[in-house]
Amino acid sequence: MAKIPLKEIAKKAQVSISTTSRVLSNPHIVHLDTRLRVFKAMEELGYQVPVKGKPRGRGKGAVALVTPVIHSEFFLEFLTELQDGLTPLGLYPLVVDTRNQYDLGSFLEQDAGWTALVDGVICFFSTIDLRTHQYFLEKGLPLALIHSRCPYYFSVMNNDYLGGYDGAAFLWKRGYRNIGLVSFDPAKSDKFRDRVNGVKAFFQNQQTASMEQEPFSDTDIWIESMSMEGGFKAIERALEKKAYDALFFLTDTMAVGGMEYCRNRGISIPKELAILGYDDLHIAKALNISTMNQFIPDQARAVTNYLKTYFENPIPRNQAGEITLTPVVIPRSTT
């Protein structure tokens, strides 16, 4: 294909050659309407940007990792995997703590200075409305989501509903019948709500199949903070109320707290109480905790591949879409 000079693109977009050049080199400094007009002209003319050794960006060399739960072990492990994928692209993570604020738009009203320091954004567990989408569009920043959905952006999700269902089914097949659930507040996160609903659905099916089965109810769900301390408190409360033979912790972090409680009280795992976690973090491997594998490296790889494609493409395209992975049971010594 013949090389298309900038003056042809400028003529078709009805802008100056210098404006066209700025759209190619620093698109974020060009007004959005002008930028989109130049991109449309480039696409119609079949313009191909010259291949360079470094991905196109604003030269900041950073990608914001925005999270409301910065102390989550899941986030910390994901951060490590992302760093391994971003470094070859000449990009490095800049962690932005929204301090338990899940609405990204509300957080931007309080603090938006970090958006001037990065070439892209990866958001964990965040909700994004149309106004927030418009903000990032005007900034010229690519954005990807982890464990949350938005019609405007690429997202990586778990099928947490099926993960919850399969986790409960695994415990049932192992012969456990008095099963409790330990969770972070599902009202604060779709991912935890989906996990809880998956567990409920399994027991509803079991109750339908066998009327003799005692129903699983909301009183079997023990909610605490997403921490080891939270897991410790939850199991303490649960075992004071009911003689469970298995507890399904919806995070490995909370499961570790549960194991600590059992160790302190002399409760034998899994002889007296089985424990199933969720995440397959390094700590779960080290402590041999049965868990649900979320495939964190694969999720991180999908996000970095998306950003790589974005930076290599001279014309930003709507890459809204979703990759969904289904967690699988990893049986270990606690079940």
Domain co-membership, 182 together with 262 = yes
Number of separate domains in the chain = 3
Domain co-membership, 152 together with 183 = no
Q: Identify whether 50 is part of a domain.
A: no
Domain co-membership, 274 together with 231 = yes
User: What tens digit of pLDDT does each residue of 30-79 get?
Assistant: 776 777 787 777 777 777 665 444 444 456 789 999 999 888 889 999 99
Mean of the pLDDT values across residues 248-262? 97
Domain co-membership, 323 together with 237 = no
What integer best gives the mean pLDDT of the chain? 87
Domain co-membership, 147 together with 78 = yes
Which has the higher per-residue pLDDT, 197 or 8? Answer: 197
pLDDT at 51: 47
pLDDT at 67: 94
pLDDT at 4: 78
166 to each of 57, 123, 159, how far by Cα in Å?
Answer: 42, 27, 11
Domain co-membership, 278 together with 311 = no
Which has the higher per-residue pLDDT, 54 or 17? Answer: 17
Q: Give the CATH number, domain containing residue 199.
A: 3.40.50.2300
39 to each of 8, 88, 94, how far by Cα in Å?
Answer: 13, 27, 29
Q: Identify whether 273 is part of a domain.
A: yes
User: What tens digit of pLDDT does each residue of 144-193 get?
Assistant: 999 988 888 899 999 999 999 999 999 999 999 999 999 987 666 677 88
Q: Identify whether 93 is part of a domain.
A: yes
**158 sits in which H/E element:** strand 154-158
Domain co-membership, 202 together with 271 = yes
User: What tens digit of pLDDT does each residue of 272-293 get?
Assistant: 999 999 999 999 999 999 999 9
User: What tens digit of pLDDT does each residue of 306-317 get?
Assistant: 988 888 775 666
Domain co-membership, 38 together with 66 = no
pLDDT at 141: 87
Domain co-membership, 239 together with 167 = yes
pLDDT at 302: 93
pLDDT at 18: 83
Lowest average pLDDT, out of 238-247, 288-297, 318-327, goes to 318-327
Q: Identify whether 20 is part of a domain.
A: yes
Domain co-membership, 263 together with 318 = no
Domain co-membership, 201 together with 251 = yes
Q: Using a CB cutoff of 8 Å and minimum separation of 24, what contacts does 135-139 make?
A: 135/105, 135/108, 137/32, 138/32, 139/28, 139/115
Those residues whose C-beta lies under 8 Å from the C-beta of residue 147, and which sit 6 or more positions away, are: 124, 125, 156, 157, 158, 189, 190, 191
Domain co-membership, 153 together with 169 = no
pLDDT at 314: 59
With 0.85 as the threshold, say if the pTM is over it: no
Domain extent, residue 140, equals 62-158+296-330
| 149 token code pair | 């959905």
pLDDT at 1: 46
Q: Identify whether 265 is part of a domain.
A: yes
Which has the higher per-residue pLDDT, 87 or 291? Answer: 291
User: What tens digit of pLDDT does each residue of 198-216 get?
Assistant: 999 999 888 766 655 567 8
Percent of the chain at pLDDT exceeding 70: 90
Q: How far apart are CA 106 and CA 272, in angstroms?
A: 46
User: What tens digit of pLDDT does each residue of 117-141 get?
Assistant: 998 999 998 889 888 988 888 888 8
Lowest average pLDDT, out of 76-85, 189-198, 295-304, goes to 189-198
